[in-house]
Structure 1
């Protein structure tokens, strides 16, 4: 065991290793008896591959580069694929990121298949953002795929309409928009894909409108399906302005299953389609059985043929359980996983999901409900370094302003071969998650290990407004964004210093998107931090609420800041771009130049206000990156620049291990 200053410990977890293991598999499902999912490829320009698990247990990438299975509906995307077993093997439909067209592909078809390649099902459009698709449902018996259609009607991000549409599988709509059948009207601004009843007589879906976000209030819509494949009159079955229904499915017996937070927690309900008034809570608990609908087609539960229901549930952390709807009993799957993603699917007695733990990254897990056995079947975690270099997190609850609880994960510096001098306290970086209606999961993240294995602590703060702790906790951020989140992060940082865990003079904050906002707002309104890393942030509330973002979040600030026309002063007062003269600490600003959610114009206005003020800072803009970095080379440069910032501010000797970040003044 060697003694060296915090931050200077040599680590095998370099930026290249962290970048190669960034991202997680997603959108798991079944095609026949095969499990399929999407998987990140950081070293392949950040594309998402579609992967299948063959009967012999091997994994196969279904499509070669540059095919990128990812939707841009609401910009954050949604479920981009669906599949079914056909007479000649799997039939899969998917969205390709580059052109956002829907494609069909039969990889095992003789004479076609992998050699012939995918065939387009939908046309291109030169209007605005074009035509986009998500949350497909294959209806092979009708020769169609039903899904969400997002159609731009003009050049502005808000010139858009969304409907449920039917696309012919024969390719007749590939060059003909008129061949796409619209099933729902466009009276709602947002919709999810339809869920068809077992007897084919009804369709259910979710809908909501500005200024609500889906975690504020949604409506569960129900319509009869006519024999000709059209919808009858739609009616509201559940939900409303202050009730969020996050998912709907059909039980095998024809009853509706849906997750609603009508009691303050997303719990699971069941009701006959003709009797919404008698919806019954299947397992009433003060924990979540769903979450925020940041993408179209997320799934936290899946009904099994037996009548049981696979559920992802928990408070803070999540587990995969099997719910008996008759007794309300939940039996959780055994295993090391402490976090399950919002993607779960069932086939027969098998359930597939995606899970991780503090010692393992996200991997595809299958649960056999007949035997109770859970096992990894895809994207298996394989320690790229000795696991003794991983951080050892602590789940903490801190007292914030007015005594409110603040949930956090604290990752102390950890190295198997190094300690710091007894008289030295470690530097700490507060990580503010995005959203802000989201949370930081307790899972292995090599970007965190990149810092902790060098002797820099990390504290992930699930500040007021985070999900996973009930609606009341989530609602703390109503009209308080830039206040509650800033105060909660500061309270955790100062508590760590007061208790002797962290060095008060060497505290930093970092975050991306909404976390970038919290970082910038913290640096312009508090004296807690010595520096900060601001990543693709919101910096100008007035511009953000006046058309400088995408449609999905164009009215988000209505709830977390207040209506712009009623409180314009609040927008100006809280915005870092108008408070730039208050910043005195060094910072690093990282921005994707293709970002349409938090566009570079916001970063550029902020920097213009900083220029000439003598504040050390660096700005790195990345070509080809949008909202959320996906390319390995981008992530490598970003991590190394961030570490260099901390080294310079905290006076850490890195011995030339990373390039020195040049700070302008």
Structure 2
């Protein structure tokens, strides 16, 4: 006989999913690649200071870390990073090249062959020298990669070029030993992809004020016998055409993903391969993201979909796509192929992200790495519902609904549950429909969660994405409010117990929602943007320093709009309790944004808390940070909504 179901108020249901469990399962495998016949990837280690390690899967199926603590395989190029490692199999075993987070130097390493040795020098100018998307060119004894070089102390005193780093270590102390492959003609570049015959290189480039999902160029150059790049020319793309990825087919044809039709579709030498109103690419937040991988057979592995993504094999001759069978409903933007083997990273509402291998000949897919492990009874996982709501002017708003769910508890008759609206970051991004123990942390206690893919989100074409142009702080706020009020209006949620939360750009949406609507009883705001004028005039990093020109409008033309939209300018309108969470090492949304906002809240009597975390940057990676943040968030809701969760420290609220 199972345990009897208890009747308890929402928010007081006992749950086996505590904050430590949710934190331990944060993050996912990424940057998958083949090294010889082995599959390697980077993996999060929240309990090891939040570092990322490199994992190899040997032919016998065993997994082992390649690098011990404190090595942290992570690049800071454009702050969000890029692919941080590459390797090749040699006669004496694998040779690995990786970026170490602490000093941002490139290192070479042979597992079992001593300590990693530095390949690049340290610079004390500004943010120093940074590297991403390494490609080991063993024939030339070099590593080709993206170099980000700071030329001064300001966040925008920076240049980016493609560069060749000697593998022999001769550049470890000498900047002049690094060979530049391109001039700094463009503000941003991705790593070069070399054609099968070694004679051409292709990469993406773009310039301020565009973001890579607005407009990029596909550049091709000839590679001379001496390894120099010649006759670089733009072959596709432009100010209003986003190319998300480019690569070479085995026969030398150039493949790329472009949204020239309004959807990111795949092209071969400029010819469309599969015209569909769905996405075969996405927003390039990290250099080296991959949505397709050519196979030796001429077929192409693709991550594609509308709203959610599947892993499939595209036949370029027929335009047909055959998707891999399996439980996965979402695949990340990382992909690799070797022969007819394809590796990807997939997840579902019942499983976290895991490394999946697809046999392109048989269509069989299986988990080969980082397998999902049910740390608790899956009966406690939330049961999501896909919903489309109607917003202002009748526009569609896509959302994922996670109602309260606990197999051992029911709420008293007539009680409606509290709900928290989650606004994703970016804002040019989206919330994937996958198992997230942070969501389960709340739903298993009797608090509903609604993830809103508001206008501006990706996955639904360029038109949906462009809804946010000059409308940030309006459309996102309206869409979140429309979902919250619809849930209350239909009797799904308690109108008096609605909250909003978000981090980064989602923190902006949460704060703007508190300042401009009366929908929410409280909010949780993490590493946010709060003052557009400050953020848009030097208080952020170079990559996003002109982002507001499309999200708000050019500052020189509409300075008043920057003030009108900023929560920091309207602190007097915030009356609901709130929690602010901030990493002290955040250079994307620096602490000064929170401090300025709090100074303007002083003496107003609004209950709030401000928690800061040393050693954390943009987004939290350390287990102890995530535990403190989750428990504080739950305590805020408990105090505002009169809930009684068990075993949660009480968050002290200031006034």
TM-score interval w.r.t. the shorter chain?
over 0.9
Q: What TM-score, normalized by structure 1, do the two folds share? A: 0.98
User: How do 1:212-611 residues align onto structure 2 when only pairs under 5 Å count?
Assistant: 212-271=210-269, 279-611=270-602
Deviations 1:5-30 (A, max 9, x none): 00100000000000000011111011
Deviation at 1:422, TM superposition (A): 1.3
SS at match of 2:527: strand
Answer whether contact 2:403 2:443 (CA < 8 A) is retained. Answer: yes
| Aligned with residue 179 of structure 1, among 158, 177, 180 | 177
Task: Report the aligned-residue RMSD.
Answer: 0.5
Per-residue CA deviations over 1:580-633 (Å, capped at 9, x if unaligned) read 000000000000000000000010000001111000000000011000000000
Q: Is the 8 A contact 2:445 2:645 kept in 1?
A: no
Q: Distance in 2 between matches of 1:222 and 1:543?
A: 38
Distance 2:366 2:108 in 1: 31
> Which residue does the alignment assign to 1:275?
none
Assess if the C-alpha contact under 8 Å between 2:330 and 2:346 holds in 1.
yes
Please state if 1:661 is matched with 2:626. no
Structure 1 residue 222, shift from structure 2 partner: 0.6
The separation in 1 between residues aligned to 2:133 and 2:169, in whole angstroms, is: 19
**2: distance between equivalents of 1:306 and 1:422?**
61
How far apart, in 2, do the equivalents of 1:127 and 1:376 lie? 45
What is the aligned partner in structure 2 of residue 276 from structure 1? Answer: none
- Deviation, 1:107, is 1.1
CA distance in 1, matches of 2:296, 2:645: 58
> By how many angstroms is 1:653 displaced?
1.5
Q: Give the deviation of 1:404 after TM superposition.
A: 0.3
What is the CA-CA distance between 1:441 and the residue it aligns to?
Answer: 0.1
SS in 1 for 2:506: helix
Matched, 1:126 2:124: yes
Whether 1:24 and 2:24 are equivalent positions in the alignment is: no
**Alpha-carbon distance in 1 for matches of 2:492, 2:464:** 27
The 5 Å alignment of 1:41-60 reads 41-60=45-64
List, as ranges, runs of 4+ consecutive aligned residues in structure 1 with deviation greater than 4 Å. none
Q: In the aligned structure 2, how far is the partner of 1:107 from the partner of 1:533? A: 44
Shift in Å, 1:378: 0.8
2:279 and 2:460 in contact (8 A); partners too: yes
Give SS of 1:142's match.
coil
| CA distance in 1 between partners of 2:52 and 2:447 (Å) | 32
Residue 143 of structure 2 is matched in structure 1 by 145
- Following superposition of structure 1 onto structure 2, how do residues 608-619 of structure 1 map, counting pairs within 5 Å? 608-619=599-610
Q: Aligned match of 1:629 in 603, 620, 641? A: 620
CA distance in 2, matches of 1:463, 1:653: 32
Structure-2-length-normalised TM-score: 0.99
Q: Deviations over 1:414-455 (max 9, x none)?
A: 000100011100000000000000000000000000000000
Secondary structure of the residue aligned to 2:60 is coil
Unaligned 5+ runs, structure 2 = none
Q: Does 1:34 align with 2:24?
A: no
Give the count of matched residue pairs: 651
| Partner-residue secondary structure (3-state), 1:128 | coil
Q: Give the corresponding residue for 1:106.
A: 110
Aligned-residue offset at 1:55: 1.4
Distance in 2, matches of 1:184 and 1:143, equals 19
1:274 — aligned with what? Answer: none
Report the CA distance between 1:654 and its aligned residue.
2.1
Structure 2 distance, partners of 1:470, 1:545, is: 27
SS in 2 for 1:136: strand
